Amino acid sequence: MGSMTGRRAIVTGGASGIGRATAGLLAAEGARVAVADLDEAGARAVAGACGPDAIALGLDVAVAEECRRAVERAAAAFGGLDVLVNNAGIIRRADVVETTEEEWDRVMAVNVRSVFLMSRFAIPVMVAGGGGAIVNTGSGWGLKGGVKAASYCASKGAVVNLTRAMAIDHGPDGVRVNCVCPGDTDTAMLRSEAEQLGEAETAFLADAASRPLQRVGTPEDIARAIVYLASDAAAFVTGSVLVVDGGGLA
């Protein structure tokens, strides 16, 4: 894994789960990290654990002005920006008949609009500094369908193809754009799915572990893939979709 020493990064959804693990690993590899989350207190706690150079940013990633301010604050604090991890996400377990318009709009706003907005403001800063790397968190359900997850599947499919389009557009500017597609990962969001579906958590997690490696992922499993794609070890990698799911899609 390439060193991140001196790199300047923003991680959205950084207060918990995959985002928290990614912020921690980036900091451990030497990066200065801005931990961004709607849960500002949680972001502050994670930033504190990341060391004195880390900062916390409270924002709703679906609101353009808040995204603009977050990028500006991080760039001002660090003197630029090299890495953006678009990780913020939510899930609603329901089919299209059960999903309300408000639920659909919120899932699409947090999961897709946020990638557009954060990238829109971050890319010019990266280009001014000579380039950078963006890693978007997709999902295995961005590559295939899933039961009672219509809005989530649609949103993550959009993230996967938006990643490819951004890689094409901004490669000439020195900005690499890639996507990590996790399988079921042991986070609060995964456990919330059991509640949404009215299933026992223990049985739900056992079913999620039914894959070749016979376990669900850990946030650290996904964080290692994200940091790899953000590092110089992936210097010739852009527009790619890295599936990290213990063999589930296989």
Indicate the SS3 state at residue 223.
helix
CA angle 59, 179, 39 (to 5 degrees): 20
Residue of 152, 158, 204, 242 marked catalytic: 152
The answer to whether residue 152 is catalytic is: yes
The DSSP secondary-structure symbol of 232 reads: G
Cα of 189 vs its chain's centroid, Å: 13
Distances (CA, A) of 12 to 2, 51, 71, 160, 190: 22, 18, 11, 17, 18
Token readout for 58 is 């409270």
Residue among 60, 84, 62 at smallest CA distance from 71: 84
Q: Are 163 and 178 in contact (CB under 8 A)?
A: yes
Q: Are 50 and 35 in contact (CB under 8 A)?
A: yes
CA angle 49, 50, 51 (to 5 degrees): 95
Q: Catalytic residue numbers?
A: 152
